[in-house]
């Protein structure tokens, strides 16, 4: 297991490169350092610097580590190929990135400008849609969820709502069909998906990816078990930022009202 103290030494670029290592370890094991550097559009020097910060002597030792981790998994069928907490640790580093925070604020401003939020998702994403709904309502932000493919979509007043669409792959037919209907009626849509380039994120007004390694379906009898801890963190962050923007707006409106009263008197 790579120590947290080593992960914390990585800068933003190195963290993104390491995330790619976690996503495709089998491919990485077959690559030379130059091949990998070319695939992630960085210099071999960046790769070497990343491996040393992680505690390895270089590229080949890191590949040896990946092989050892793979062999451990093959000996224990119910073991996770990579620790979810490691993926979440990398995600929390991104949460401190100014560009990523700016993206979240862009989504929160959309939510603040409308009366209520609609969360949509199915399966695991449906459970998260329910969580997001409860969290927003507890924060004083009106919201409800759509988790049933046959539930009618109410878009009579498109300007009063914003949709938050949840999907790991961004390719779920029900979600894509629902979002297409909302978009036709002029509803603003925020997507939260694992990868950036997918059908759902391309349809959204604001697309937020969380980019964590997908756990192999070969390891788990239940199929793909990509960690959803980043989604929970994003939903909570969105609620707090939306609430903050709304409070700031109310304060400004109150101050304008006081100024207008004073001038009138």
Q: Does domain 97-252 have CATH number 3.40.50.10490?
A: yes
Answer yes or no: is pLDDT of 109 > 60: yes
* Alpha-carbon torsion, ordered 240, 246, 250, 251, to 10 deg: 40
Residues of the chain within CATH 3.40.50.10490 domain(s) are 97-252
- Range 198-236 burial, b when 16+ CB lie within 10 A, else e: bbbbebbebbbbbbbbbbbeebeeeeebbbbbbbeebbe
For 201-228, what is the mean pLDDT? 71
Round to whole Å and give the CA distance between 18 and 28: 11
The backbone torsions φ and ψ at residue 243, rounded to the nearest 5 degrees and listed phi first, read -60, -40
pLDDT at 76: 45
Of 230 and 254, more confident? 230
pTM: 0.68
In the prediction, which pLDDT does 84 show? 66
Sequence-distant (≥ 6) Cβ neighbours of residue 185 within 8 angstroms? 155, 158
User: Please, where in the chain does CATH 1.10.10.10 lie?
Assistant: 4-75
Distance in angstroms (rounded) separating the CA atoms of residues 42 and 65: 22
The 10 Å Cβ neighbour count of residue 190 is 24
Asked if the model's pLDDT at residue 140 lies above 60, the reply is yes
Which of 2.30.30.760, 1.10.287.1080, 1.10.10.10, 3.60.15.10 would CATH assign to domain 4-75? 1.10.10.10
């Amino acid at each position: 297991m790579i120590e947290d103290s080593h992960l914390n030494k990585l800068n933003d670029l190195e963290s993104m490169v390491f995330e790619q290592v976690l996503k495709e370890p089998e491919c990485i094991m077959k690559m030379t350092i130059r091949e990998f550097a070319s695939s992630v559009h960085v210099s071999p020097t960046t790769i070497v610097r990343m491996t040393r910060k992680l505690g390895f002597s270089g590229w080949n030792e890191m590949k040896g580590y990946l092989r050892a981790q793979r062999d451990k998994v093959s000996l224990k069928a119910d073991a996770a190929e990579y620790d979810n907490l490691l993926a979440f640790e990398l995600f929390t580093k991104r949460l401190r990135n100014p560009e990523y925070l700016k993206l979240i604020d862009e989504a929160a401003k959309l939510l603040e400008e409308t009366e209520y939020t609609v969360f949509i998702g199915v399966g695991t994403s449906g459970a998260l849609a329910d969580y997001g709904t409860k969290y927003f309502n507890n924060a004083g932000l009106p919201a409800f969820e759509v988790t049933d493919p046959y539930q009618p979509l109410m878009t009579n007043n498109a300007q009063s709502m914003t949709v938050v669409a949840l999907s790991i792959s961004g390719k779920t037919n029900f979600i894509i069909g629902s979002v297409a209907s909302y978009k036709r009626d002029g509803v603003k849509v925020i997507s939260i998906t694992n990868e950036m380039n997918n059908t759902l994120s391309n349809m959204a007004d604001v697309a937020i990816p969380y980019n964590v390694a997908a756990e192999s379906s070969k390891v788990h009898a239940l199929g793909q078990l990509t960690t959803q801890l980043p989604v929970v963190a994003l939903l909570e962050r969105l609620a707090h930022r939306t609430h903050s923007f709304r409070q700031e707006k109310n304060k400004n409106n109150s101050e304008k009202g006081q100024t207008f009263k004073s001038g009138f008197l």
